């Protein structure tokens, strides 16, 4: 059966905000489309959010983009919490993998893997371990991560790709999904060294499974990989999501102590203000050690202090994206919609 090439989704205001943030901070080219809040060219497809609140995805890659990006990162349709999944396999020995920091300008990309079996899952249920996105308090997430580690002992692994390494990898791979696959594979390998012969690993669906399979080394070649949207309903993935978030939060705190400023999450106006202050005080190359420099946020920050990407040096320039006049396009779109 041929893949569908056109999808339409009505989005709530919250989903619209998530989509706009995703498209503005990701590797997308803006397009001019009448009556839209935002319109971009994506990987083999076009994505448009209309003023009516409808999101339209069209093109040969539409089905993959909906499956791997829109559903897990914007729609969040499933009821969060693995307690709603009534399947015996969640109690069987397996690994779960998830990441944190992918959409944040500052800080590392953190990937965690956690092991579960029929003794660990009831303990996680007692602790109310659930998808970290359902936890609004950072302190609660960090406290829950400590409780998870108490249950797991050493049966978990955390891979932290700091900003300097992240920027270097992005310049080489030119794809966040390829970096995620590499990080997931490393976390799986590290955990398999502690719990060998675990039969399968579950992760959220961010790209073709073959990306992770190709990145696995000898220890991981025999494990069965399962990727699916909203995989945080699985207890192992939920635990991994919390461990990854806690690792990311700890890294932000450490960066803040080093630079004498509270480092905010996300890619908001506050993030840009802090980044501008850091550039003024420490110079543009400081961003390479603090931020994901392929984000459009880096260009906005440098422009605000009268500098260009060239100020980052050759390493920073290698992370650049095609230049697009977002401001002008968004202004025309608002005028058309009014």
Would you place residue 338 in the very low, low, confident or very high pLDDT band (cuts 50, 70, 90)?
A: low
Residue 85 — very low, low, confident or very high, per pLDDT cuts 50/70/90? very low
| Domain assignment present for 206 | yes
DSSP 160: E
What's the structural domain count of the chain?
Answer: 3
Range of the domain at 317: 267-323
Residue 337 lies in a domain: no
| CATH number of domain containing 135 | 3.30.420.10
Q: Which two three-digit tokens encode residue 239?
A: 């635990």
Q: Is residue 192 part of a domain?
A: yes
- Report whether 190 contacts 142 (CB < 8 A): no
Summarize the confidence of residues 184-194 as an average pLDDT.
93
Residue 273 has pLDDT above 90, yes or no: yes
Structure letter (DSSP) for residue 184: H
Phi-psi region at 86: left, alpha or beta (left = phi > 0; alpha = psi -120 to 50):
beta
| Whether residue 87 has pLDDT greater than 80 | no
Confidence of residue 79 (pLDDT cuts 50, 70, 90): very low
**Distance between CA atoms of residues 118 and 122, nearest Å:** 7
Percent of the chain, pLDDT > 70? 87
187: helix, coil or strand?
Answer: helix
Query: Do 200 and 70 fall into the same domain?
Result: no
Contact of 160 with 123, CB cutoff 8 Å: no
Shared-domain flag, residues 190 and 217: yes
Judge whether 1 lies within some domain. no
Between 281 and 3, residue with greater pLDDT: 281
Of the candidate ranges 110-119, 202-211, 240-249, 302-311, the one whose mean pLDDT is the lowest:
202-211
Name the band, by pLDDT with cuts 50, 70 and 90, for residue 133: confident
Of 43, 77, 111, the position where a domain reaches its end is 77
Within-domain flag for 330? no
The mean per-residue pLDDT over the stretch 146-162 comes to: 97
165 and 212 in a single domain? The answer is: yes
% of the chain exceeding 90 in pLDDT: 57
Q: CA-CA distance, 83 to 148, in Å (whole number)? A: 16
Check whether residue 142 and residue 185 sit in a common domain: yes
Of the residues 223, 253, 283, the one at which a domain ends:
253
Query: Do 278 and 237 share a structural domain?
Result: no
Locate 299 and state its tokens.
């260009």
> How much is the average pLDDT of 172-184?
88
Residues 141 and 201 in one domain: yes
pLDDT greater than 90 at residue 119:
yes
pLDDT given at position 147: 96
Element (H, E) at 112: strand 109-116
Pair (49, 186) in one structural domain: no
Q: Which of 48, 77, 106 is the last residue of a domain?
A: 77
Q: Looking at the predicted structure, is the pLDDT value of residue 274 above 80?
A: yes
In a domain, 258, yes or no: no
- Look at 267 and 38; give whichever has higher pLDDT: 38
Does residue 175 lie in a domain region?
yes
User: What per-residue confidence (pLDDT) applies to 331?
Assistant: 61
User: Residue range 219-248: average pLDDT?
Assistant: 87
Whether residue 119 lies inside any domain: the answer is yes
Residues 219 and 154 in one domain: yes
Q: Which of 164-168, 173-177, 199-203, 277-281 has the lowest mean pLDDT?
A: 173-177
The CATH number of whichever domain residue 14 belongs to comes to 3.30.310.10
Checking if the pLDDT of 269 tops 60, the result is yes
Alpha-helical segments (H) within 1-119? 13-25, 62-65
Judge whether residue 228 has pLDDT over 90: no
* Whether residues 68 and 99 fall in one domain: no
Please report which confidence band the pLDDT of residue 218 belongs to, taking 50, 70 and 90 as the band edges.
Answer: low
Dihedral (C-alpha) 229, 235, 238, 242: value to the nearest 10 degrees? -170
Answer yes or no: do 158 and 235 share one domain: yes
CB-based contacts of 109, cutoff 8 Å, min separation 6: 99, 100, 101, 102, 160, 161, 166, 179, 180, 183, 292
Q: Are 132 and 204 contained in the same domain?
A: yes
Predicted local confidence at residue 96, as pLDDT? 96
- 102 with 245, same domain: the answer is yes
pTM over 0.75: no
Q: What backbone phi and psi angles, to 5 degrees, belong to 234?
A: -85, 135
């Amino acid at each position: 059966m041929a893949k569908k090439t056109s999808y339409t989704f009505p989005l709530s205001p919250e989903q619209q905000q998530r989509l706009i943030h995703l498209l503005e901070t990701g590797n997308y080219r803006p397009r001019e489309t009448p009556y839209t809040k935002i319109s971009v060219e994506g990987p083999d497809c076009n994505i448009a959010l209309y003023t009516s609140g409808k999101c339209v995805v069209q093109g040969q890659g539409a089905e993959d983009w909906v499956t791997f990006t829109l559903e897990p990162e914007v729609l969040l349709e499933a009821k969060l919490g693995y307690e709603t999944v009534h399947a015996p396999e969640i109690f069987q020995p397996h690994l779960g993998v998830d990441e944190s920091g992918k959409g944040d300008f500052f800080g590392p990309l953190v990937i965690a893997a956690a092991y579960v079996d029929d003794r660990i899952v009831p303990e996680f249920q007692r602790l109310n371990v659930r998808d970290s996105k359902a936890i609004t308090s950072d302190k609660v997430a960090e406290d829950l991560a400590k409780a998870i580690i108490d249950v797991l002992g050493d049966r978990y692994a955390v891979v932290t790709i700091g900003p300097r390494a992240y920027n270097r990898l992005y310049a080489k791979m030119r794809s966040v999904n390829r970096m995620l696959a590499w990080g997931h594979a490393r976390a799986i390998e590290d955990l398999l060294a502690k719990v060998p012969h675990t039969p399968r690993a579950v992760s959220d669906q961010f790209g073709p499974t073959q990306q992770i399979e190709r990145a696995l080394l000898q220890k991981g070649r025999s494990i069965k990989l399962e990727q699916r949207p909203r995989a945080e309903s699985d207890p192992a993935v939920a635990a991994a999501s919390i461990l990854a978030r806690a690792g990311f939060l700890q890294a932000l705190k450490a960066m803040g102590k080093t630079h004498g400023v509270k480092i905010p999450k996300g890619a908001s106006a506050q993030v840009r203000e802090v980044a501008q202050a850091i550039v003024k005080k420490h110079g543009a190359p400081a961003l390479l050690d603090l931020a994901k420099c392929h984000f459009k946020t880096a260009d906005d920050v440098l422009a605000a202090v009268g500098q260009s990407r060239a100020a980052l040096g050759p390493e920073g320039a290698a992370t650049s994206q095609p230049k697009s006049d977002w401001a002008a396009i968004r202004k025309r779109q608002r005028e058309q919609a009014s």
